[in-house]
């Protein structure tokens, strides 16, 4: 897949109008509103996030690995189409993977894709040379044979234990992502997509679209 095809296939890019809105948001310096109010703390957090996005944008484009590669595998294509948006945190994706490790144990994990992109080179995965493996450093890891369970928070998500299962709170827009397979609602602005991936027992993507747009709209109402 060449660079131009990759760019045309991206489904989640934030357009110039949203970038312009982010510029406008940084002009707000006071906590005030008519008909809509948020706490000073939330206002400052949202304003700071807008400034972080603008700072990264002004530093120049973030390198997108998949743009320079030929991506063939279905699962790899799904993640490649979301790479730029997750690197810039315009959207966030939680990847659920169920697979077997080298000992034959069934393992599963909820993976913060944006977090992994920061610390891993996805080149070999995108070209089909390696698999994306559940790790004990992911948001939630479970070994179904040894019953080892490990959870970790990231800058993007915090695990919220629940008697009915697992929930994650997005640390940017404070929205809850519900990953219960029996649920018909996965959270405001969150979609659930089943990926039929070769070589895995199960792959599901939970995509949070509101992480960027929601706080921009809220601030523009002030």
Q: Does residue 10 lie in a domain region? A: no
pLDDT at position 80, please? Answer: 96
Give 105-142 pLDDT, tens digit per residue: 999 999 999 999 999 999 999 999 999 999 999 999 99
The residue among 124 and 183 whose pLDDT is bigger is 124
Is residue 191 situated within a structural domain?
yes
* pLDDT (average), residues 42-52: 65
In degrees to the nearest 10, what's the CA dihedral of 92, 211, 46, 220?
A: 150
Domain-embedded: residue 67: yes
User: How many degrees, rounded to 5, is the angle at CA 41 between CA 38 and CA 47?
Assistant: 80
E runs forming strands in 43-156: 92-100, 106-112, 140-143, 149-151
34 occurs within a structural domain = no
Domain assignment present for 187 = yes
45 belongs to a structural domain: no
How many structural domains is the chain composed of?
1
Reading the block at residue 170, the tokens are: 């997005």
Instruction: Show the domain range for 215.
Output: 16-27+56-220
Element (H, E) at 42: helix 40-58
Q: Give this prediction's pTM.
A: 0.72
Structural domain contains residue 160? yes
Place of tokens 């940017």: 172
Q: Is there a domain that residue 123 lies in? A: yes
């Amino acid at each position: 897949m060449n660079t131009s095809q990759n760019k045309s296939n991206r489904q989640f890019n934030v357009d110039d109008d949203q970038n312009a809105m982010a510029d406008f948001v940084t002009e707000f310096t006071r906590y005030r509103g008519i008909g809509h109010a948020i706490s000073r703390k939330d206002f400052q957090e949202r304003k700071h996030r807008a400034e972080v996005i603008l700072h990264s944008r002004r530093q120049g484009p973030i390198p997108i690995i998949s743009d320079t590669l030929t991506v063939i595998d279905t699962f790899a294509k799904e993640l490649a189409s979301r790479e730029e948006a997750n690197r810039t945190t315009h959207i966030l994706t939680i990847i659920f993977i169920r697979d077997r490790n080298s000992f034959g144990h069934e393992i599963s994990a909820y993976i913060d894709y944006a977090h992994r992109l920061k610390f891993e080179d996805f080149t070999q995965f995108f070209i089909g040379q390696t698999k994306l493996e559940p790790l004990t450093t992911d948001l939630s890891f479970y070994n179904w044979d040894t019953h080892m369970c490990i959870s970790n928070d990231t800058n993007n998500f915090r695990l919220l234990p629940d008697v009915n299962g697992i929930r994650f709170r997005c640390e940017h827009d404070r929205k809850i992502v519900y990953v219960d397979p029996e649920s018909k609602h996965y959270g405001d602005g969150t979609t659930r997509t089943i990926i039929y991936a070769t070589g895995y027992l199960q792959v599901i993507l939970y995509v949070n679209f509101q992480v960027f747009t929601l706080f921009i709209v809220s601030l523009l109402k002030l």
